[in-house]
Structure 1
Amino acid sequence: MSNYSYSINNDSIQFLERYLNEFSPTGNENKGQKIWINHLSSYVEKIQTDLYGTAVGIINPNSPYKLVIEAHVDEISWNVNYITEEGIIYVSRNGGSDPQIAPSKKVVIHTEKGFVHGVFGWPAIHIRKHSREKSPNVENLFVDIGVSSKNEAIDMGVYVGCVITYPDKFFIMNHNYFVSRALDNKIGGFLIAEVARIIIENRLNLKFGLYIVNSVQEEIGLKGAKVISKIIRPNIAIITDVTHDTYSPMIDKKIQGDIKCGLGPVIGFSPSIHKNIRELIINTANRKKICFQRLVTSRDTGTDTDAFAYSNKGVLSALISIPLKYMHTTVEMVHKKDVELAVLLIFETLQEINKNINQFFTD
């Protein structure tokens, strides 16, 4: 059993709430990233960022050995794509935004003049019966900001290219579930920050450099991770992300795997996941009696693991995921226990690497 008992405290919950409630749409992550950097700065020796906004906190930056723990900060969103003469706004997707959940949702349009509030409008059910366009899609979704002309919209600061986000806020359901938009993957950013905190609070003397990375632009093709992996050039990377709770309705376990919220973090199996690091994590979990689940993904993981694994001359990479309900909606859900166990698993894994540093790092 783990010698260290960890649970999320009230200060950490307050950080998580601030972090989730701030906007960080893909390509415009700076506000959410700033909250993360300010929080992490108390637990690291150095903070650096790249040109596109990926942030890195470093413990023991002078070591020649480099280990990354990573998450991504960006959340899915929309962009203004076209404004009609009547002031109705049509959109394009920024990441994996789901048209099915959009109708009747409130939105915030980010303009140089400030926020403009609007709604995704949708015809009433008894009108739609006689319409050929019965299902929401990118071609027929529209935002109404309460104007009657294109010029009015432009005067408010709305133009083609403006980012559109959902304003939904974080809350805790039934004491155990964190509910919010953008848990994919700000919950990862939260848990790697917690790892840094407990390393410092437990005065763990790392023999390697620990790089706590919060990447940008994952939702459009792992872009931030591809850049930062070439800058850091790590020896090892442990990536965090979310994966589907397959006990939710309408999901086929035979295809998506057998994963349930509350049963522990998920250790991934995929060609980009290196056996040595994966088995280290599994052995650590078994030895420390940390509950975990397993998930297979064929070809690639679809996460920043793939970007790190195949960068430079190759990086020993692994993936630890948090089970999540209702991915890419505004009511994503994760279980508090899974987050706590993931933090503990990474912390204990880092200690194992620290004890056996010559086994994992070579000059």
Structure 2
Amino acid sequence: MRKESFEFLEKYLNTAAPTGFEAEGQKIWLEYIKPYIDEYFVDTYGTVVGVINPEAEYKVVIEAHADEIAWFVNYITDQGYIYVRRNGGSDALIAPSKRVNIHTAKGPVKAIFGWPAIHVRKVDQDKAPAIETIFLDCGASSKQEVEDMGIHVGSVITFDDELMEMNEKYLVGRALDNRVGGYMIAEVARMLKENGKKLPFGLYIVNAVQEEIGLRGAEMIAQRIKPNVAIITDVTHDTQAPMYDKKVSGDLFCGKGPVVTYGPAVQNNLLNMIIRVAQEKEIPFQRASATRATGTDTDAFAYSNEGVASALISLPLKYMHTTVETVHKEDVDNVSRLIYEFLLQLETGHDFRYLK
């Protein structure tokens, strides 16, 4: 990972961009890819699309999602404590003792998820934290004091955790799901430009919003672009740590390469082309299967516009939806490399239909 790329990734990951409030992260992402694209556009809800060869009729999408899980202020007590509700798949179990930023018009307000000490909790309270019991303390002693800080019902909350490196091999932090995907597709655009590669088709580098609450950004932008092909990046579970059931979740490893997924939403001719490229270029990869939907933006693209040939290339990740999401640096580079090599061999107008 080159120095400039890492600096971009660090800045991008450390910037809060919760679902529905992705704009600040999107500004950083767009600024990074501008030198590598011909033009860009932004939709009403904040999805950003960088375009190479916008005049081309045949359109190829490479896509990630920009949003991170978060919380909303839901109720403020007379004593100044704040109860929350989820914005995306936030986990109440990990919340107690975490530091957060409550985002307001006046700027971020520091707060903490408090929790009673183990030796004072009542027997009936000594159970796993739940959305009904976790609460925030922002240092206020009344509801009025909370409101004077600019906090109100609907204020969005993100964990105050930043990127770190671990054992020289891993990246650890919040929001790797899936801003690391935005980084990987941006690196594809950079490599194409810096290596002087000319594509025979239009390439749409899509950083979509609102994936965490139902693929909403991808649904909107797929209808606008109307691509012929879509390669989606997201994260998937490394299943080697304790408490994972490999019979359910598969046998996937951080450090053993990108994961390609089989499932109804994945177009098999496209998938086979990706696998062939990986094999020819000696890029390590792993395989996974989806029961029905992939649960990623792949589904939104695949089932749009009378059907789009779509495939999913995932990055193995440990501890999803925590503040210590963990990925292997080599996997990050190999996802970008696999997409890059795929694009270089794709011919414009390629027909992926099963029957012709």
Q: TM-score range by the shorter chain?
A: over 0.9
Counterpart in the other structure of 1:327 = 320
Counterpart in the other structure of 1:269 = 262
Counterpart in the other structure of 2:74 = 81
Does the Cα contact within 8 Å between 1:25 and 1:74 map onto a contact in 2? yes
Counterpart in the other structure of 2:348 = 357
What are the within-5 Å matches in structure 2 for residues 50-129 of structure 1?
A: 50-129=43-122
Counterpart in the other structure of 2:250 = 257
Does the Cα contact within 8 Å between 1:95 and 1:219 map onto a contact in 2? yes
Aligned residues, how many? 353
Give the percent of matched residue pairs that are identical in Structure 1 and Structure 2: 58
- Cα deviation for residue 93 of structure 1 reads 0.2
**Distance in 1 of aligned mates of 2:178 and 2:154:** 24
**Distance in 2 of aligned mates of 1:52 and 1:133:** 42
Counterpart in the other structure of 2:166 = 173
Counterpart in the other structure of 1:286 = 279
**Distance in 2 of aligned mates of 1:262 and 1:34:** 30
SS in structure 1 at match of 2:224: helix
SS in structure 2 at match of 1:125: coil
Would you say 1:151 and 2:132 are equivalent positions? no
Does the Cα contact within 8 Å between 1:128 and 1:134 map onto a contact in 2? no
- Cα deviation for residue 271 of structure 1 reads 0.3
TM-score of the aligned structures, taking structure 1 as reference length:
0.96
TM-score of the aligned structures, taking structure 2 as reference length:
0.98
Post-superposition Cα deviations, 1:180-225, rounded to whole Å, max 9, x if no partner, equal 1000001100000000000011111111000000000000000000
Post-superposition Cα deviations, 1:272-310, rounded to whole Å, max 9, x if no partner, equal 000011000001111111100000011110000000000
Would you say 1:160 and 2:150 are equivalent positions? no
Letter in 2 for 1:158: I
- Cα deviation for residue 135 of structure 1 reads 1.5
Letter in 2 for 1:357: T
- Cα deviation for residue 124 of structure 1 reads 0.6
- Cα deviation for residue 357 of structure 1 reads 2.8
Does the Cα contact within 8 Å between 1:235 and 1:361 map onto a contact in 2? no
**Distance in 1 of aligned mates of 2:24 and 2:189:** 21
Does the Cα contact within 8 Å between 1:65 and 1:361 map onto a contact in 2? no
- Cα deviation for residue 340 of structure 1 reads 0.9
**Distance in 2 of aligned mates of 1:358 and 1:32:** 34
Counterpart in the other structure of 1:182 = 175
- Cα deviation for residue 313 of structure 1 reads 0.9
- Cα deviation for residue 173 of structure 1 reads 0.8
- Cα deviation for residue 130 of structure 1 reads 2.4
Counterpart in the other structure of 1:218 = 211
Counterpart in the other structure of 1:19 = 12
Structure 2, unmatched stretches of 5+, are: none
Post-superposition Cα deviations, 1:122-177, rounded to whole Å, max 9, x if no partner, equal 01111225233522111111000111100010111110000011110111111110
- Cα deviation for residue 87 of structure 1 reads 0.6
Structure 1, unmatched stretches of 5+, are: 1-7
Letter in 2 for 1:339: V
**Distance in 2 of aligned mates of 1:103 and 1:256:** 27
**Distance in 1 of aligned mates of 2:262 and 2:245:** 19
**Distance in 2 of aligned mates of 1:319 and 1:230:** 19
What are the within-5 Å matches in structure 2 for residues 21-36 of structure 1?
A: 21-36=14-29
Does the Cα contact within 8 Å between 1:109 and 1:158 map onto a contact in 2? yes
**Distance in 1 of aligned mates of 2:268 and 2:25:** 34
Counterpart in the other structure of 1:302 = 295
- Cα deviation for residue 361 of structure 1 reads 7.7
**Distance in 2 of aligned mates of 1:139 and 1:173:** 34
SS in structure 1 at match of 2:123: coil
**Distance in 2 of aligned mates of 1:49 and 1:289:** 36
Q: 1:40 aligns with which of 25, 33, 36?
A: 33
Backbone CA RMSD of aligned residues: 1.1
Bigger mean CA offset, 69-78 vs 127-136:
127-136
Would you say 1:195 and 2:195 are equivalent positions? no
SS in structure 2 at match of 1:110: strand
